[in-house]
Structure 1
Amino acid sequence: MRVATINKGILLALALIVPAVSGCSSYRPAPKAFHEATIQPYRLDSGDRLRITVFEQTGLSNTYTVDQAGYVAFPLIGAVPARGQTIQELESIIAAKLRQGYLRDPDVSIEVDRYRSIYLMGEVGQAGQYSYVAGMTIQNAIAVAGGFSPRANQRDVDVTRKINGKIVTGRVSISDPVLAGDTIYVRERLF
């Protein structure tokens, strides 16, 4: 009788622990596409500020921001779709539109003046929105946010990133690179 009571107690404890532990693992390791995104050409999105230069056209050369809808409002040609384009693709699109009755052979050059922000949440000194710098790692981003809090899990973090138009979350090492627009969540350690 006593053994049966102990076994029931163990089963009850396991029944409570298994869902709790499996709930902790709701995030999976980052998929292959997650890591491949870090070596792909930079893709423009809302919030990027671009320095667009049209050779010998000072009235057209200026800084422009990719708006929330993913467009750049450019003089003469209007709204140009920028979201998901590489810089070279956007240069070609703008040049092609300017060739349609505005300029004979436009020479368009684009540089990213300011990347869209990254976001840090969870167990960091000061959670919030921060400027992205090309080449930044997760560890660099955490340092900018005031470092780890005393309760932080310092081995890996959850990163949410837009890949091919889809929002994907994966768990990565703090030495992984950050992409503009990433949301980094530093979890609390268990012990």
Structure 2
Amino acid sequence: MIRVMPRHGQRRRHPIAARPALASLGLAATLCVSLGACTPGTDLHEVPSYDPHSYVLGVDDQIRVITYDQDQLSTDFRVDAGGKVAVPTLGNLQAAGLTTAEFAAEMTQALEKQKLLRHPSVVVEIVAYRPVSILGEVARPGEYPYRPGMTLLTAIAASGGYTYRAFEGYAYVVRQEGDHTVTGRLSPGDFVKPGDAIQVYERHF
């Protein structure tokens, strides 16, 4: 029987010698998962739920005003940085924080107050919403157009899907609520709000 002896100064590694290290790594991973220490964003709270039917206008929204039988008062507008819309003959009208129906009522009242029309009929609809920003572990990070009824999952799909490193349980979101900003956790089935900035985490294991 021929034995191959290790050369001088070379230590022979036995397969069993690697087992304690692998066992320790496996134990660490188990503890990490069971304790939640390796799950990103565990200290985040759920952001307030968003109802797409209760949407209020915000900065950079593009709206279309239709005033029946008044072509000069029927056009598209963009909500400016001050939350207002510059309407010909009416001046700057507050739009941010109002629903489309509320803004239509405000414009109707302004037309009547200035006696420009006796019985104006105004309808307001949204042409383009504020975009949604999707960053982190997605295939194509960037800004994407908001679509009514968009959820976190459909927003991720719009950005090309998760990367292989992505944590898919939830995402971090920065959201504008009225005159203040909130941050928190967004689950896959939660509705996305126009203007949301979403960060998809990298998983640790």
When normalised by structure 1's length, the TM-score is 0.82
Alpha-carbon offset, residue 77 of structure 1:
0.5
Work out the number of aligned pairs and report it: 169
RMSD: 2.0
User: After TM superposition, what 4+ stretches of structure 1 lie above 4 angstroms from structure 2?
Assistant: 24-27
Counterpart in the other structure of 1:6: none
Secondary structure (helix, strand or coil) at the match of 1:160 reads: strand
Give 2:62's aligned amino acid.
Answer: R
Q: How do 1:12-91 residues align onto structure 2 when only pairs under 5 Å count?
A: 25=41, 27-31=43-47, 34-35=48-49, 37-38=50-51, 41-91=54-104
Counterpart in the other structure of 2:137: 123
Secondary structure (helix, strand or coil) at the match of 1:109 reads: strand
Give 1:133's aligned amino acid.
Answer: R
Counterpart in the other structure of 2:5: none
Deviation string for 1:119-162 (max 9, x for gaps)?
00111111111100001111111111111111100111112111
Q: How do 1:129-140 residues align onto structure 2 when only pairs under 5 Å count?
A: 129-140=143-154
Give % identity: 35
**CA 1:40 to 1:58, structure 2 compared with 1: closer, same or farther past 3 Å?**
closer
1:189 aligns with 2:174: no
**CA 1:90 to 1:119, structure 2 compared with 1: closer, same or farther past 3 Å?**
same
1:144 corresponds to which of 135, 148, 158: 158
Partners in 1 of 2:182 and 2:51 — Cα distance? 13
Give 1:165's aligned amino acid.
Answer: D
Counterpart in the other structure of 2:121: 107
**CA 1:47 to 1:143, structure 2 compared with 1: closer, same or farther past 3 Å?**
same
1:172 aligns with 2:186: yes
Instruction: Tell whether the 8 Å contact from 1:152 to 1:186 is kept in structure 2 after alignment.
Output: yes
Instruction: Tell whether the 8 Å contact from 2:84 to 2:96 is kept in structure 1 after alignment.
Output: yes
Instruction: Tell whether the 8 Å contact from 2:52 to 2:148 is kept in structure 1 after alignment.
Output: no
Which 5+ residue runs of structure 1 have no aligned equivalent? 1-16
Which 5+ residue runs of structure 2 have no aligned equivalent? 1-31
More deviation in 37-46 or 158-167? 37-46
Give 1:87's aligned amino acid.
Answer: T
Larger of the two Rg values belongs to structure: 2
Partners in 2 of 1:168 and 1:40 — Cα distance? 20
Counterpart in the other structure of 1:95: 108
